[in-house]
Amino acid sequence: MRNNNSLLNFIISTISLFLTSAIMPELPEVQTIVNELNRKLKNRTIKSVEVNAPKMVAVGPSIVSNIRTASKRSVNKFISLLKGKKFLSVKRRAKLLIFDLSEPSPRPSPRGRGRNTLMLVHLKMTGQFIFEDKKLRAKTGGQYRMFNKLSAPFVKLPGKHTHVIFKFVDGSHLYFNDIRKFGYMKLVRDNEINQVKELQEYGPEPLDKKFTMRAFFTAVKKRHHGKIKQVLMDPKVVAGIGNIYSDEILFHAGARPTRAVSSLTDKELAAVYKWIKPVLIKGIKAKGSSVGDFVRTDGSWGQMGKFHFVYGRKGQKCKRCGSTIEAVKLGGRTGSFCPHCQK
């Protein structure tokens, strides 16, 4: 009975999702950006690159913290490596975007590897891509909204939070904006990809076939004293789940974020596993329906609350039972839950 109710609620909320968009990029948001950029950037050739925040770009597979010591030389290298290259495709691993860029004049490589340059981009909290061509500029007048600035007026791009600009030979632009400057861009050769530390440490992709219940149980049960929310957010256990989606998954699974893994029955843990995919897919579909506007000026911003059952809803009524949503601090993060629906 309870299962039927939760399924019904889930379907209803999915239907009411058309104009929804979340702000913090987690897996579904990053996937949306990947889908969007794949369409828009394919085969575009870079004419020039402008870098206004040297600390946000780097060359080589070294770890992220090394990026912050960027020098003028590495910025110049970053720019010269990109000039003349063509975007082939964009992929995603966890919340990391991976751009595949061709050599300026592709020559066949004996092994077909070690030729292309990869650009790894992490958006962190407030990173944003806006692709602009003549058509879009005419439509928007060059006015865009920034992440996390829902109440602010539209801004012109490039603006003070535009840190990297890609100019293409056909006159179109790709802007990389980031209010907090927590994000980064990093160039590696494709044969260096195995040396990139953050890629080595990611656990399974939750939407991948390899992410089985057995794999999930094995990874989670190693952390028997860990709190389930923190374990879900650990990229080594499963990639791409952040604060928003862990809250939502645990709501549907009926487990409080503070529950220790060891206190969860196999049935409860199976429920957590069961809800991971549908909640993430729902997120991707929500973006999908507003995808045409997402990288442009996204009129749907500010409506994200509509689709969340618990995230960011402390003090409001539970959409399922009417109880007041509570919040708890877990390692500096806020976890929201319904005290009635989640045991």
Partner DNA sequence: TTCAATGTTTAGAC
Partner DNA sequence: GGTCTAAACATTGA
Positions in the binding site for DNA (CB under 7 A): 24, 26, 55, 63-65, 68, 94-96, 122, 124-125, 149, 151-152, 179-182, 197-198, 201, 222-227, 230, 233, 235, 242-244, 261, 330-334
CB of 242 closer than 8 Å to CB of 334: no
Report the C-alpha gap between 78 and 67 in whole angstroms: 12
Least distance between DNA and beta carbon 70 (Å): 10
Least distance between DNA and beta carbon 265 (Å): 17
Catalytic residues: 25-26, 95, 333
Task: Considering the complex, state which of residue 222 and residue 340 has its C-beta at the smaller distance from DNA.
Answer: 222
Task: Considering the complex, state which of residue 173 and residue 227 has its C-beta at the smaller distance from DNA.
Answer: 227
CB of 196 closer than 8 Å to CB of 188: yes
Least distance between DNA and beta carbon 147 (Å): 11
Name the token pair of 219: 């990874």
Task: Considering the complex, state which of residue 4 and residue 151 has its C-beta at the smaller distance from DNA.
Answer: 151
Residues 274-310: b if buried by 16+ CB within 10 A, e if exposed = ebbeebbbbbbbbbbebbeebbbbbebbebbebbbbb
Least distance between DNA and beta carbon 268 (Å): 17
Residues 125-147: b if buried by 16+ CB within 10 A, e if exposed = bbbbbbbbbeebeeebebebbbb
Residues 49-58: b if buried by 16+ CB within 10 A, e if exposed = bebebbebbb
Task: Considering the complex, state which of residue 30 and residue 46 has its C-beta at the smaller distance from DNA.
Answer: 30
Task: Considering the complex, state which of residue 111 and residue 225 has its C-beta at the smaller distance from DNA.
Answer: 225
Least distance between DNA and beta carbon 86 (Å): 27
Q: How would you write 25-53 as a 3-class SS string?
A: CCHHHHHHHHHHHHHHHCCCEEEEEEECC
Task: Considering the complex, state which of residue 86 and residue 227 has its C-beta at the smaller distance from DNA.
Answer: 227
Report the C-alpha gap between 29 and 25 in whole angstroms: 5
**Which residue carries 């994200």 as its tokens?**
304
User: Phi and psi at residue 224, in whole multiples of 5°?
Assistant: -65, -25
Beta-carbon contacts of residue 263 (< 8 Å; ≥ 6 apart): none
Please provide the DSSP assignment of 190-206 as one string: GGGGGG-HHHHS----T
**Which residue carries 């077909």 as its tokens?**
112
Least distance between DNA and beta carbon 194 (Å): 15
